[in-house]
Amino acid sequence: MNTYCVTGAAGFIGYHVCKKLLDRGEAVLAIDNLNNYYDPELKFERLDQLGINKEAIQYNKVISSSTHPYLQFIRVDIEDYDNIFTIFKDHDFSCVIHLAAQAGVRYSIDHPFSYTQSNITGFLSILEACRHNHIPHLVYASSSSVYGLNTQQPFSIHHGVDHPISLYAATKRANELMAHTYSHLYGLPTTGLRFFTVYGPWGRPDMAYFKFATAILEGKPIDVYNFGNMYRDFTFIDDIVEGILRVTEKPPQSVKQHQIDISDPALSPAPFALYNLGNSKPESLADFISILEQKLGKSAHKRFLPMQAGDVFATAADIKELEQNFGWHPHTTLQDGLEQFCNWFVEYYNRLHP
């Protein structure tokens, strides 16, 4: 049995990663600070699905699951280095899956310090804890937003990423550079995953599709930016989780510098790797909304608006490295993925509005 540390475990992706690991019989130490960036009740509900009792949660106290014998949860801030270090020292982790972060492109415009605190200081805390406790592999969440003003499609890990257009994107790119430094200096194997527009059940309320579904059911207008003329590489949560877990099984290896072209942004002699994790099939925002209306059985009242600051026109993932190295390929269509989301969402919404 392997023991995994999953940070951001009460978040959207973190919850699904924990569930999948437990389903296959692994041991998990789950970490989250349960902040109020969005309604913490949804985070508590996710934890409840894993057998973690909300009433038992205290800061820096280990809680055991009532339903999963190999799951423990601890509420702690990742930037709280002393406690993070102690947690890592007291456990023998096979892999750290670091998903905790201050998310959201638009939120970063008005709340910049939240991003440097969590995404920079917090990530440094994780790197230091991994370094000093000889963690075999750190897998961490990056983002497709690092591609910024890059107009070459599909986005490839071999493209330059020097022109971010939001502080969120800049912090995620900084994470990749920090990880490379630790891989180079200390031989820490690190793998960064650039996620592309993840959606599905138990998703984040700040994401557009979640907001759309809420507004549609309430008969309120939805804001459609760039007049609906935008494309996103929508990627279903189950495909994302499968990609994450495949990557954990194969830490990157050091190579001799003369064996690679270090002018390629994706390559390094250090035990360092980057991958795109996306559906590789961009869909228009207009089509996405149309399918959402169909699955919810209700039409949306659309309010068309120009492009927002920090947004990009299109995202598309080149995933050939992940296919070649891990045999991974997404298989969930937008129709099927949105049907699963809507089935969950209607039940969740009715619990909130009985």
Q: Phi and psi of 235, rounded to 5°? A: -125, 125
Q: 347, 105, 348, 118: which is closest to 232 by C-alpha?
A: 105
Residue 81: Cβ within 10 Å count:
16
* Cα 50 → chain centroid: 19
- 131: nearest Cα among 204, 75, 185, 62: 185
Phi, psi of 252 (to 5 degrees): -65, 150
- In angstroms, rounded to a whole number, what is the distance separating the alpha carbons of residues 119 and 182? 16
Instruction: Let me know: does 314 contact 282? Beta carbons within 8 Å.
Output: yes
Q: Is 147 designated active site?
A: no
Closest to 29 (Cα-Cα) out of 79, 100, 82, 81: 100
Q: Residue 324's CB: how many other CB atoms inside 10 A?
A: 9
**Exposed e or buried b per residue across 200-232, where buried means at least 16 C-beta atoms within 10 angstroms of its C-beta:** bbbbbeebbbbebbbbbbeeeebebbbebebbb
Residues whose CB falls within 8 Å of the CB of residue 23, separated by 6 or more in sequence, listed in order = none
232 bridge partner residues:
283
Buried b (16+ CB within 10 A) or exposed e, 184-199: beeebbbbbbbbbbbb
- Where does residue 149 rank: exposed (0-12), middle (13-18), buried (19+ CB within 10 A)? exposed
Given 4, 107, 140, 168, the catalytic residue? 168
Query: Using an 8 Å Cβ cutoff, are 190 and 180 in contact?
Result: yes
Q: Which two tokens stand for residue 317?
A: 């993932």
The residues that are catalytic are 168
